[in-house]
Amino acid sequence: MKIKKVAFPFSGTHPLLGEKWWHRFFIVAYVITTLATLGIAVALSIEGVEEKPYNINVKNNLRDFSKNSDTSVSNTVPLFLEQGGNIGCLEDNRIKYVSVYTLEKKTFCSADIPSRLDDVSQKFIGNDSSTVERRKELLSEMISKDSEKRYCFISNEIDCSSDKVVSYNKNAVYYLQVIIYSLVSVYLVSIFLQILYYKGFIYIVYGKNK
């Protein structure tokens, strides 16, 4: 009973309204509007709830995935993307958007990058024979200067290091947030409609006469 009073605080104040056709019409319109609001609220919440480290489950990152892949795989990026789930850049307190298309077209990863410099050069500069050898030399020089073993070459457009590019799924906390935000939104709309009807329309019709 207390739950009903919270959800419908004005429903018991006018017992004779059930005899009025326009009151029945309001109830039907109210139910339809509430259901429509729920659908819209869920859709907006799914888009609006920000993905954070606490509401996702990270499956793996691109660097470790490449490191642990078979050396016979030329480019591990397609396999990484085929895992399913979502792709993003894991920062300290949020997941930043990463374009899957750009990642696939402008990133090359392998468990054995030094032996794949031909593939790296072809991916990034094409088959121009006049520059391939020079680019391979520059890539070799870059690898030799790395402080730790390299597994990826990533375009600056990605703006994320390979160990931060992650494959992840949204967990129960994310969907709990969606449910809570949706229910709060629906409740606020519900109360607004009831106030508009009972304290607005009914007041206009009956004035202060209870």
pLDDT tens sequence across 14-67? 667 778 888 888 889 989 999 999 999 999 988 888 999 999 999 999 999 999
Query: How many Cα atoms within 13 Å fall on the side-chain side of residue 200?
Result: 7
Q: Cα angle vertex 79, ends 64, 139, to 5°?
A: 65
Cβ neighbours of residue 194 closer than 8 Å, sequence gap 6 or more: 8, 9, 10, 11, 30
**pLDDT recorded at residue 176:** 95
Where are the strands (E) in 106-193, listed by range? 107-109, 152-154, 165-170
The whole-angstrom separation of Cα 95 and Cα 72 is: 31
Mean pLDDT of 109-125: 81
Alpha-carbon distance values, 144 to 3, 137, 149 (Å):
68, 11, 9
- Statement: residue 75 has pLDDT above 70: yes
